[in-house]
């Protein structure tokens, strides 16, 4: 079990998570999905599989934030769940898994947690017999491309002007024959290395989040914009 002994929990995304996911989405992507899109995915799209990653010691604060979230939603103000680290999802259509989103809260990056979410999406896709795993990524998003290459994705095409905010191209990256033994072995090795990395690092919360999450009020927003 990848997460045994670690302070992280991966669960299917629920409607309760959506306001907080949408808040991270707004911080992270220049063309964010609105909360309604996530709600549709969870409530109405039978092909969708979405996961959220949480920092276990802060989950009770997340529950408080949810209660407050409902209140703040009524006030039409954004809210936060400090336990929520990141999320990702894919659509499964026959034997093709199309990864539609992946994001880690900026303060938690560089600790293998984006990799943890991606590898969990791949594991779920393999379990559901996906043969092709595919996604689009901005041509300028080298960080995400590195992560995808690490997991065996290769560039198989380009969509010209795909992103509406700046007409940037998308690279199409795919793992073909994901369910074959060769890939499964490579994938198992990557997961074992990831677990060793996570066990070896401190896994304490980022300094920037400690004060605000520590007193249960959630974090402030820095409005950083990264590439989808
Ligand atoms: C892409 C993203 C999910 C990576 O999350 P993360 O937790 O910071 O990444 P990890 O620490 O798990 O790193 C995994 C791999 O990503 C690549 N990577 C991560 N940070 C990198 C950096 N600063 N420079 C280059 N490559 C980097 C590396 O291949 C790394 O593997 P390594 O640690 O063996 O070198 C995160 O940067 C993010 O949320 N970005 C904004 C949203 C986004 O671009 N999503 C993808 C949409 S297609």
Residues labelled catalytic = 136, 148
Mutate to test the pocket of ligand 1, among 30, 109, 116, 137 (most ligand atoms within 8 A of CB): 109
pLDDT digits 0-9 by tens, 72-89? 655 544 468 889 999 999
Structure confidence at residue 192 as a pLDDT band (50, 70, 90) = very high
Indicate the DSSP class of residue 115. Answer: H
Residue 167 has pLDDT above 80, yes or no: yes
- CB-based burial of residue 176 (10 Å sphere; 0-12 exposed, 13-18 middle, 19+ buried)? middle
Structure confidence at residue 56 as a pLDDT band (50, 70, 90) = very high
- Whether residue 146 has its Cβ less than 6 Å from ligand 1: yes
State mean pLDDT over 136-146.
Answer: 98
What's the pLDDT at 66? 73
Kindly report the average pLDDT of the chain as a whole number: 89
Q: Domains in the chain, please, with CATH?
A: 8-201 (3.40.630.30)
Q: Which positions ≥6 away from 176 have C-beta within 8 Å?
A: 131, 132, 154, 156
pTM, two decimals, is 0.91
- Whether residue 141 has its Cβ less than 6 Å from ligand 1: yes
């Amino acid at each position: 079990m990848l997460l045994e002994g670690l302070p992280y929990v991966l669960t299917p995304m629920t409607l309760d998570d959506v306001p907080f996911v949408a808040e991270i989405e707004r911080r992270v992507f220049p063309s964010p999905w609105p909360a309604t899109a996530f709600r549709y995915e969870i409530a109405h799209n039978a092909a969708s599989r979405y996961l959220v990653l949480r920092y276990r010691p802060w989950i009770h604060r997340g529950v408080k934030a949810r209660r407050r979230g409902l209140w703040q939603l009524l006030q039409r103000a954004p809210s936060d769940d400090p336990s929520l680290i990141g999320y990702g999802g894919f659509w499964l259509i026959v034997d093709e898994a199309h990864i539609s989103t992946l994001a880690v809260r900026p303060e938690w990056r560089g600790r293998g947690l984006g990799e943890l979410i991606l590898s969990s999406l791949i594991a779920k896709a393999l379990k559901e017999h996906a043969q092709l795993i595919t996604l689009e990524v901005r041509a300028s998003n080298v960080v995400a491309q590195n992560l995808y290459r690490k997991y065996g994705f290769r560039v198989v095409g380009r969509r010209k002007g795909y992103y509406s905010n700046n007409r940037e191209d998308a690279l199409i990256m795919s793992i073909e024959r994901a369910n074959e033994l060769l890939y499964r072995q490579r994938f198992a090795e990557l997961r074992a290395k990831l677990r060793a990395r996570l066990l070896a690092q401190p896994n304490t919360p980022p300094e920037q989040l400690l004060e605000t999450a520590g007193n249960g009020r959630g974090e402030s927003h820095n409005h950083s914009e990264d590439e989808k």
